[in-house]
Amino acid sequence: DTAVSQTPKYLVTQMGNDKSIKCEQNLGHDTMYWYKQDSKKFLKIMFSYNNKELIINETVPNRFSPKSPDKAHLNLHINSLELGDSAVYFCASSQSFGNTEAFFGQGTRLTVV
Amino acid sequence: RKEVEQDPGPFNVPEGATVAFNCTYSNSASQSFFWYRQDCRKEPKLLMSVYSSGNEDGRFTAQLNRASQYISLLIRDSKLSDSATYLCVVNITGNQFYFGTGTSLTVIP
């Protein structure tokens, strides 16, 4: 069983469209994240949710809206997609106590054309 | 200023060589520290946690210097399969993982 799973794995879409990426974790973790990895390979944190509540929003445009229906799911909706949104988006989860590591999903490669 | 600074490399070393990566972090309240490995077109995966006393896992040794806010990773007897990007990671409050830019390693036959 995949611990952190995100769908879709690949997403090609036109500028201006709205798209969603889904993420689920079966590790029982209380914190989930979205990261963006751009063409320079830098992994930048976008959002962090703890028990369904937003705790980090790292100056991400309003077009990006995360939604956490429960602590095992964190979805990412993107409105009015732009060329610069093309990147790999990684979902991750961790336990907020115990200083344990974060586990990552396989990534969603988004290409905006 | 970035939370975590790392030399991006690339490091190209022959098989059997010893190679060291370093990183520094800016937030003195950082709680936990890790090295992750990322292969091409794959997700980052934990290589090892880093403890204040230093820790070793086979050919890999990690060190933490809290006073200097400095983390290191030493790889001995490099293998071709060690070729990857190594990411220094700092967790600040228990749920804020910040990544360095990664150091690219290529082990050459």
> pLDDT digits over A27-56, tens only?
999 999 999 999 888 999 999 998 888 887
- β-strands B60-65, B70-75 pairing: antiparallel
The pLDDT of residue B24 is 96
Query: Which residues have a Cβ under 8 Å from the Cβ of A105 and sit 6 or more positions away?
Result: A2, A4, A5, A6, A23, A90, A91, A92, B43
Q: Are strands B11-14 and B103-108 parallel, antiparallel or unpaired?
A: parallel
- By C-alpha distance, the chain B residue nearest A90 is B43
Interchain contact B87–A (C-beta under 8 A): yes
B95 shares contact with chain A (CB less than 8 Å): yes
The token duo for B86 is: 């190594």
Is B49's CB within 8 Å of A101's CB? Answer: yes
Give the best residue of A41, A96, A97 to mutate against chain B (max B CB count within 10 A): A41
pLDDT, position A73: 96
Q: How confident is the model at residue A11 (pLDDT cuts 50, 70, 90)?
A: very high
Return the minimum-mean-pLDDT range out of A3-12, A91-100, B9-18, B58-67: A91-100
CB contact under 8 A, A41 and B102: yes
CB pairs below 8 Å between A and B: how many? 55
CB-count exposure of residue A35 (10 Å: 0-12, 13-18, 19+): buried
Q: Does B55 touch chain A (CB under 8 A)?
A: no
Give A1's pLDDT tier (boundaries 50, 70, 90): low
- pLDDT surpasses 90 at A19: yes
Question: How close does chain B come to A67, measured CA to CA in Å?
Answer: 17
Q: Token match 């790392």: residue?
A: B6
Comparing A40-44, A71-75, A100-104, the range with the smallest average pLDDT is: A40-44
Contacts B85 to A, Cβ<8 Å: 41
Across B48-55, average pLDDT: 91
The winner for highest mean pLDDT among A18-27, A38-47, B91-100 is A18-27
Q: What is the mean pLDDT of chain A?
A: 93
pLDDT at B2 over 90: no
Closest C-alpha to B63, from B22, B97, B16: B22
The answer to whether A86 and A78 have CB atoms below 8 angstroms apart is no
Q: pLDDT for B63-87, tens place per residue?
A: 999 999 999 999 999 999 999 999 9
**What span, in angstroms and rounded, lies between the C-alpha atoms of B105 and B73?**
12
Q: Does B26 touch chain A (CB under 8 A)?
A: no
Is residue A96 pLDDT above 90, yes or no? no
